[in-house]
Structure 1
Amino acid sequence: MPDNAAPCPFCEIIAGRAPAAVVREWPDTIAILPRGGVHPGHVLVIPRRHVVDYADDPDVTGASARRAAQLGRALGVQSNLITSAGEDATQTVMHLHWHLIPRAAHDDITLPWPNRRGIRHTQETL
C-alpha cells in the first residue's frame, strides 16, 4: 500500500485497532454490523485475510461465502447475499466482504441499491 493510502478499515477492525459491533467470529472470517446498513439485521461477513474482491483469491472467497451461508442459516430468515468487485459494481471498501441482508415482503429495499459514487467508506462510516 502506498505511504499516503489510508489503511483498510476492515483490516483495522480485524486487527483490533478499530471498533466494530461483532456478530460472530470464526478463525478465518468475522461478521459485523455495518454503520448505516440498508435494513435492520444487515451484516457484513469479512475474511480475515485481505483480498480485494471475490476474484482476487477464490479460496478465500469460497471460505468466506461458506461462513456467510452458515450465518444465514443460523438466522433462519429469507435474505440476500451480495458481494461486488470494483467501484463500478458499487464496491466502496476494497476488501472482500459479503452483505447478508434479511428480507421481508414489502421491505422497500430496491436492489441494486444506488451507487454513492465518490464516497469511500472510512472507519466512521462502517
Structure 2
Amino acid sequence: MATACVFCRIVAGHAPADVVREWDDVIAIRPLHPVTPGHILVIPHTHVPDVGELPGVSARTMACAAELAAELPAANVITSKGTAATQTVAHLHLHVVPRTAGDDLPLPWTPGQHTAG
C-alpha cells in the first residue's frame, strides 16, 4: 500500500468513501465530484500507477467495471494514463459514467470540443 495514495487509504479503510460494490480485489466508490448521476470509480486493491502497469490487474478492474456498465442502458468506461491524459491520482481507476441523451457531458472527442493544431 502506498500510504500517500488516497485510493490505497480508501481500500485499506483508512479514508472515508461511499462504497457502491466490493469484490475480493476491487472496490467501486462514488467520486467526490460526479460528472453525471451514478458516476462510479472502480479501483483495484493493488497499488498500480496506471493502466499501463500490471495488465492482469487492469484487466480484472475492467471486468468489474464491465459488470457495473452492464446494468446501465448507456455509459462511458474511461481511464487515463499520465497527467497529459488528465490522470490526477496515480492509482489505476476506471470511471463508469452513466449517460443519457442530451446530458451535455462533453468528451475530448466530442465534435467541437477541440481543434487540431
Q: TM-score, normalised by structure 2?
A: 0.88
Alignment of 1:37-56 (within 5 A): 37-56=34-53
The match for 1:110 is: 106
Gaps of 5+ in 2: 110-117
Supply the distance in 1 between the matched residues of 2:34 and 2:66 (Cα, whole angstroms). 19
- Is 2:11 the partner of 1:22? no
| Identity across the alignment (%) | 54
The match for 1:57 is: 54
Alignment of 1:76-115 (within 5 A): 76-112=72-108
Supply the distance in 1 between the matched residues of 2:3 and 2:26 (Cα, whole angstroms). 22
Q: TM-score, normalised by structure 1?
A: 0.82
Supply the distance in 2 between the matched residues of 1:112 and 1:98 (Cα, whole angstroms). 17
Amino acid at match of 1:78: A
Supply the distance in 2 between the matched residues of 1:6 and 1:62 (Cα, whole angstroms). 24
**Cα distance, 1:37 vs. partner?**
1.0
How many residues in Structure 1 have an aligned counterpart in Structure 2?
A: 109
